[in-house]
Structure 1
Amino acid sequence: MPSLSTALARALIVTAAAAALAGVTALPAAPPAVAAQLPPGVIQLGDGEPCPPGTLCLYRDYGFSGPAYGIGAGYVVDLHWLPMYGSGGPTAADNVSSWANRTAGVALLVDEQGGRPRPLFPGQHLEEPLPLNDTVDRVVW
């Protein structure tokens, strides 16, 4: 019988292959067991912890509070891979209300449901306006 990690790896390969055949380029949502390993360039922050220098930070709640993560400059991150329970589901995708960009680069906040990518400039802090709250699925640079 294959181990759990082997079974999960096989499931991800099959899912990725099926998506490629269908012409879909988005990564599949992470299974809970895999999501415990954060993507490269991502750190978990404490509730309300200030954003470290050289980092793009995302917070579940307004006021830069609640569960949070930091993304190093230049790392493209699918927020489906960051565990964060909220009204949008079990991941940070569609669950982020506050952002702080303490990097020297422009981060693009991407909504995969057809919204236009929005830039977050170096030094900029953002509390999502209600129409755009909880819509970001991916960060690109």
Structure 2
Amino acid sequence: MANWKARLLVTTTALAACAIVTGPAVSTAAQAATVRTRTAEADLPPGVVKLGDAEGCPPVTLCLYRDYNRRGPAYGIGAGYKVDLKDLPMGDDTAANNVSSWVNNTHGLAVLIDADNGKVRPLYPGQPLEEPPSDNDTVDLVDWA
């Protein structure tokens, strides 16, 4: 009986050491940035990755798309990372006041902020959003509740 306890202790210790070296098993946008070797990402804020046009939204990521129906240039923001959309190049401009659709694949409540008028809107976990005409292209900042 003591033999299996000793093996369990060795196995648990080895797994814990492995977890410390390799990090959590959950994929995040920040980890995806390490895997993807796109040179343009070097200048992006922490926790942000550039997605391909109309690329699906990865797990544990808040995604924003320039166009409706999750099309056009896009970015993924890791859960919990506050981002000023002026720091995200999008065509000849930035993502600030230039986003029409969103997907929140995180487990957190994303907060979409229009800095021009102070309007704040929630985007709940697991929810997509096609901006209504009154709010289209108005978000400047992403925060988390």
Shift of 1:94: 0.2
Q: Normalization by structure 1: what TM-score? A: 0.71
For 1:91 and 1:65, how far apart are their aligned partners in 2? 16
For 1:120 and 1:70, how far apart are their aligned partners in 2? 15
Larger mean Cα displacement after TM superposition, 89-98 or 131-140: 89-98
Percent identical residues: 66
Structure 1 letter corresponding to 2:51: L
Structure 2 letter corresponding to 1:100: V
Structure 2 letter corresponding to 1:139: V
Please show how residues 117-128 of structure 1 align to structure 2 within 5 Å.
117-128=120-131
Q: Normalization by structure 2: what TM-score? A: 0.70
Structure 1 or 2: larger helix share? 2
Larger-Rg structure: 2
Name structure 2 gaps, 5 residues minimum. 1-40
For 2:114 and 2:89, how far apart are their aligned partners in 1? 18
Runs of 4+ aligned residues of structure 1 deviating over 6 Å after TM superposition are none
Structure 1 letter corresponding to 2:48: V
Shift of 1:116: 1.7
1:43 aligns with 2:46: no
Residue in 1 that maps onto 2:20: none
Residue in 2 that maps onto 1:94: 97
Shift of 1:115: 3.8
For 1:101 and 1:51, how far apart are their aligned partners in 2? 8
For 1:90 and 1:116, how far apart are their aligned partners in 2? 22
Residue in 2 that maps onto 1:68: 74
Name structure 1 gaps, 5 residues minimum. 1-34
Residue in 2 that maps onto 1:56: 62
Corresponding pairs, count:
105
Say which SS state the counterpart of residue 43 (structure 2) adopts.
Answer: coil
For 2:43 and 2:80, how far apart are their aligned partners in 1? 19
Summarize deviations over 1:62-107 as a string: whole Å, max 9, x none.
010000000000000000000003xxx6100000000000000000
